[in-house]
Amino acid sequence: MSNESPAVVSSSALTALSATRLLQVITFTLVGLLVAMWVATGTTQTILFFGCTGLTMASWVAYRGHATAAAFLFLWTITLMLSALAYLSAGIRDLAVLGYPGLLVLAAIVGSGRLLFSLLFFIVGYCSLLAYWAITGVLVPVIPPVEAKHVVFTNVILLVTGFSVFLLFGDVRRLMGSLEAENARVRKTQAAIARLANHDQLTDLPNRRYCEELFVRAQNRSQQQHQRLAVLFLDLDNFKPVNDSLGHSAGDLLLQQLVLRLQSLLRPHDVLCRFGGDEFLLLVATDAHSDDAIMQLSEQLIKKTTKPFFISQMQVEISASIGIAFAPEHGTEFTALCRHADMAMYKAKQDGRNTYRFFHPDLDRINIDKFNMLQSMRQALKDRRFELYYQPKLDIEDGRVIGAEALIRWPQRDGSFIYPDQFIPLAESSGFISELGAWVIQEACAACARWQELGLTEVTVAVNVSYVQFRDGLLEQHVRQALQDSKLAATALELELTESLLIGEGDTIQQQLHSIHQLGCTLAIDDFGTGYSNLGYLRRFNATRLKIDKSFISSLCVSSRDQPLVHAIIQLANSLGLVSVAEGIEDEATLLQLRAMGCNEGQGYYWAKPMPEADFIAYLQKGAAINRADVIPIR
Ligand code: C2E
Ligand code: CA
Ligand code: CA
């Protein structure tokens, strides 16, 4: 019943209604007939008696709910009764004929078309016949003098007809009213559905789909007024970390507050849309010759965004990068303009975020590849298309696998890979590395926890961390979360940082490293030897390992120049209490030399290339089965 359409419900309601209504109409008519029978005499009384009997049967049928049959019985009884009365008395001029129109109206309301037309044809035919009989003298009409009973007959007919029509039309009116209400409800639901489809539920702003429609209107309007239409693409710079650390409901609250702030800057015809996540699009008609107003607006938008938010009694600060394109000079199509504004926004991010940039065709040429790559990188992270590969790290003395370095891979649809050197720099310069890095830490911790569950309890995992990941101050939070989610001991996670990180930036990074170290994680200095190689700061940063850059290792057996250097690094590491790690060991000769120099750990193609997790587990299990006393470690 619940999924029945409103039309079906109304028609069944109508049937039920007309059965009860019919019963009332029949009863009322019956009362009228009884009154008429009381004043009537002779044959008239007999005919009225038959009429009453027919109506009693009809009322019984109506009572049982059979509206159509009751209507048939009722109307035909009355018709035949009136016809008999007319035949026996004044024929075509008889009072009974007065009842016919009323009957037809009732038939039209309660009965089917078939009933109405059969009655109509009968009545027309019968009246013609009565007239014909009178004209030809077959029937001589008896027109009695008017008596009091005729007043009763007339009034019974009028009252019964009037009352019945009133009752039945009342129903029709009510039904129309309820249908109208139903229609209004359907219209309202449709409007609500349209609104849902066109608006973002969280902020109630128009969504991307609807934005396109609004864009066309805005563009037409600005054309008519000889103005340009500015398309501003606004992207929050560090919203994701807020979501991650404070929870989605806090993020939602922030977005709602932000929208109110942004709306306070808009004029009546400006359109603000939510494009998704933390992206907004603003359509503003502006002067055809000057950018001043848009520059001012962008500054105000950024100012409104950077003002601290108070969410769940916490002060949260974010910023925004804005890209601006104009119609018609940068395009007239919605998609093209959005893309250009997005590119300009990307330029704003590259230029240090929290600023705005105008689209320029040069931007298109220079940045198109990077822009595309960044877009697909974002999508790949959303679609979970990145993978972590693991390269075993071994103890050079006894060949034990002590852990793995997690190295990110970006598999392509054609089966090839994009290697980190090709996309990490872009991820860093765009700030995307923050999100990507958080995923790497999360994934690596989960993997290491799985290895430990398989009984490979000694194995640790090392993750590469970029200096950009320290910028928003959320690295510690990401590490904490990953450890908590995977239930991995903090001591099993190592972060690899490059030297440059330790040199350039000041106290904030040191503080963050300190708290991460406090959690129990270890730190490794990556690519040592390629930077400033100042051992002084290694101590300050609580590093545990020193990874000698593979450029020195791979040439160890070739270049005599590198041997003393590598030896010196190993000795320095030892004297500072740091574990020395050689990366890029590709052959046995190099391994033997490093072992002779006292290097502690190694990593390289000699043992294994980075591999998917399943292969790494198989590698670990094979390693665990081999005799550890074997001096040359497993391959
Ligand atoms: P890295 O940290 O120095 O990583 C070691 C690189 O050397 C890896 O390249 C590895 O495949 C390669 N390698 C290992 N053994 C040998 C060997 O015996 N011979 C040679 N020729 N190469 C060897 P990959 O995986 O292409 O990574 C390149 C760089 O990308 C990494 O250098 C690291 O700086 C960065 N990277 C990789 N994954 C991540 C990540 O998740 N986050 C960040 N921020 N950076 C990452
Ligand atoms: Ca590394
Ligand atoms: Ca390295």
pLDDT at 392: 97
What pLDDT, on a 0 to 100 scale, did the predictor assign at position 11?
Answer: 47
> What average pLDDT does range 453-467 have in this prediction?
93
Tell me the two tokens of residue 430: 């765009």
Q: Which of 317-326, 362-371, 404-413 bottoms out in mean pLDDT, i.e. has the lowest? A: 362-371
For 18-22, 121-125, 397-401, which range has the lowest pLDDT when averaged over its residues?
A: 18-22
pLDDT at 502: 64
Q: How far is the CA of 496 from the centre of ligand 2 (A)?
A: 6
Evaluate if residue 438 carries a pLDDT over 80: yes
The alpha carbon of residue 158 and the mean position of all alpha carbons in its chain are separated, in whole angstroms, by 65
The span from the CA of 635 to the CA of 622, in Å, is 10
Provide the CA 74 distance to its chain's centre, in angstroms.
Answer: 60
DSSP string, 514-580: HHHHHHT-EEEEEEETSS---THHHHHTT--EEEEPHHHHHTTTT-TTHHHHHHHHHHHHHHTTPEE
- Given a contact cutoff of 8 angstroms between Cβ atoms, the answer to whether 630 and 421 are in contact is no
Write the residue with the smallest CA distance to atom 2 of ligand 1.
Answer: 464
Query: Would you say 73 and 110 are in contact if contact means Cβ atoms under 8 Å apart?
Result: no
Question: How many whole angstroms from 407 Cα to the centroid of ligand 2?
Answer: 8
Ligand 1 center–CA 464 separation, angstroms: 9
The identity of residue 245, as a single letter, is S
Ligand 1: centre distance to CA 407 (Å): 6
| Average pLDDT of span 40-52 | 94
For residue 615, count CB atoms less than 10 angstroms from its CB and return exposed for 0-12, middle for 13-18, buried for 19 or more. Answer: middle
541: confidence class by pLDDT, cuts 50, 70, 90: confident
CA dihedral 581, 583, 587, 589 (to 10 degrees): -40
In three state form, how does the secondary structure of 390-446 look? EEEEEECCCCCEEEEEEEEEEECCCCCEECHHHHHHHHHHHCCHHHHHHHHHHHHHH
Amino acid at 60: W
Q: Is the pLDDT at 203 greater than 70, yes or no?
A: yes
Please tell me the distance from the alpha carbon of residue 291 to that of residue 358, in angstroms, as a whole number: 9
In the structure encoding, which two tokens stand for residue 119, read together? 């009655």
Bridge partners (DSSP) of residue 611 are: 390
* Degrees, nearest 5: CA angle 520-601-615: 85
Instruction: Please name the amino acid found at residue 92.
Output: I
Say which residue, 478 or 246, is predicted with more confidence. 478
- Ligand 1 center from residue 64 Cα (angstroms): 87
The pair phi, psi for residue 108, each rounded to 5°, is: -65, -35
Q: Please give the residue that has the higher pLDDT: either 440 or 457.
A: 440
Neighbours of 120 (CB within 10 A): 15
Query: What pLDDT digit, counting tens, does each position of 173-197 carry?
Result: 888 898 899 888 888 888 887 788 8
Whose alpha carbon is nearest atom 12 of ligand 1? 584
- Region of 384 (left: φ > 0; alpha: ψ -120 to 50; beta: rest) is left
Q: pLDDT value at position 632? A: 44
Answer whether 36's CB lies under 8 Å from 117's CB.
no
Phi, psi at residue 321, to the nearest 5°? -115, 135
Distance 391 CA to ligand 1 centre (A): 9
Residue 246 three-state SS: helix
Q: Is 605 in the pocket of ligand 1 (CB under 6 A)?
A: yes
420 lines ligand 1 (CB under 6 A): yes
Q: What is the mean pLDDT of the chain?
A: 88
Q: How far is the CA of 389 from the centre of ligand 2 (A)?
A: 12
User: What's the CA gap between 257 and 251, in Å, rounded?
Assistant: 10
Q: Is the pLDDT of residue 537 over 60?
A: yes
Single-letter amino acid, residue 433 = I
Residue type at position 625: A
The residue whose CA has the least distance to atom 19 of ligand 1 is 584
Nearest CA to ligand 1 atom 21: 584
Q: Tokens for 581, please give them.
A: 């790690």
Instruction: Quote the CA–CA distance of 222 and 219 in Å, as a whole number.
Output: 5
pLDDT class for 4, splitting at 50, 70, 90? very low
Average pLDDT over residues 392-398: 94
Please give the number of the atom of ligand 1 that sits closest to the Cα of 407.
38
The residue contributing the CA closest to ligand 1 atom 35 is 420
CB atoms within 10 A of CB 340: 26
3-class secondary-structure state, position 141: coil
Six-digit token string for 223: 């054309």
pLDDT at 12 over 60: no
pLDDT of residue 625: 54
Taking the C-alpha atoms of residue 171 and residue 111, their distance in angstroms, rounded to an integer, is 14
pLDDT of residue 30: 95
Atom of ligand 1 nearest to the CA of 586: 18
Strand order across the 228-236 sheet: 271-276, 279-286, 228-236, 320-327, 356-358
Counting ligand 1 atoms within 8 A of each CB, the residue from 377, 407, 603 with the most, and so the one to mutate, is 407
Q: Domain segments of the chain: what residues?
A: 6-176, 208-359, 370-621
Instruction: For domain 208-359, give the fold.
Output: Alpha-Beta Plaits (3.30.70)
CA pair distance 431, 233, nearest whole angstrom? 17
Q: What is the mean pLDDT of residues 337-355?
A: 90
C-beta 526 within 6 A of ligand 1:
yes
55-83 tens-digit pLDDT: 999 999 999 989 889 999 999 999 999 99
pLDDT of residue 174: 87
> How many A from CA of 485 to the centre of ligand 3?
28
370-621: CATH number = 3.20.20.450
Show the CA angle centred on residue 588, arms to residues 586 and 593, nearest 5°.
100
List Cβ neighbours of 247 (8 Å cut-off, separation of 6 or more).
none
In Å, the largest CA–CA distance within the chain is 147
**Burial track 62-84 (b if 16+ CB lie within 10 A, e otherwise):** beeebbbebbbbbbbbbbbbbbb
Contact 390, 610 (CB under 8 A): yes
165 Cβ neighbours under 8 A, 6+ residues apart: 102, 105, 106, 109
Strand partners, 310: 315
Torsion angles phi and psi, residue 137, rounded to 5: 85, 5
Distances (CA, A) of 315 to 250, 307, 312: 11, 10, 8
Measured between alpha carbons, how far is 167 from 106 in angstroms, rounded to an integer?
10
* C-alpha radius of gyration, the chain, whole number: 46
Q: Is 555 in the pocket of ligand 1 (CB under 6 A)?
A: no
The whole-number pLDDT of residue 455 equals 92
